[in-house]
């Protein structure tokens, strides 16, 4: 059964009450955009790392000269580096970045003095990964998806 609900179409499976299907849909959070927020111990140092070392493009700048903030493009997401660490432990956080050529990135980053925490290697799940960290110790996982990996195959 198909029931129109405003501009949306609700597909109800046989045996599922329409109100239950509508409730499940209504309980979902509609995400319009997202970003990772980093509050580094030294904002300028982290700005330099993400902009100059990793080479991320700046989406926007904001704040006063005393408290500048930058938002970087992160593929289809955003990374905001602003404020300052307030002493709270934020828990384990990792940034996962897909790159086209992991070995080329390894050479480029090493030439800039970035410590390679773990050399590129093929993971059991089939992705090639390398680990580095930002100036505050946030782990950054650089990933290359091999040409023969299922994520690369077009199933259409």
User: Domain 32-91 class?
Assistant: alpha beta
| Reported pTM | 0.67
Pairing of strands 118-122, 94-98: unpaired
Tokens 């110790």 identify what position? Answer: 137
d(CA 86, CA 103): 36
d(CA 3, CA 13): 11
d(CA 21, CA 14): 11
* Residues 75-126 pLDDT 10s: 888 889 888 766 655 556 889 899 999 999 999 999 999 999 999 999 988 8
Domain ranges of the chain: 1-30, 32-91, 92-156
**Regarding predicted confidence, which is higher, 2 or 20?**
20
Q: Do domains 32-91 and 92-156 have the same CATH topology?
A: yes
| 139 φ/ψ angles, rounded to the nearest 5 degrees | -70, 135
Which CATH architecture group holds 92-156?
Roll (3.10)
Per-residue pLDDT at 106:
96
């Amino acid at each position: 059964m198909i029931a129109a609900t405003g501009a949306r179409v609700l597909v109800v499976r046989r045996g599922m009450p329409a109100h239950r299907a509508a409730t499940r849909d209504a309980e979902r959070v509609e995400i319009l955009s997202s970003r990772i927020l980093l509050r580094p111990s030294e904002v300028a140092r982290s700005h330099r790392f993400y902009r100059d070392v990793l080479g991320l493009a700046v989406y926007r700048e904001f704040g006063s000269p005393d408290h500048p903030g930058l938002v970087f493009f992160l593929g289809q997401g955003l990374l905001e580096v602003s404020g300052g660490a307030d002493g709270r432990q934020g828990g384990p956080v990792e940034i996962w970045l897909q790159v086209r050529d992991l070995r080329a990135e390894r050479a480029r980053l090493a030439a800039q003095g970035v410590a390679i925490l773990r050399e590129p290697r093929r993971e059991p799940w089939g992705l090639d990964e390398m680990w580095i960290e930002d100036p505050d110790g946030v782990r950054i996982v650089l990933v290359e998806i091999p040409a023969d990996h299922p994520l690369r195959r077009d199933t259409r």
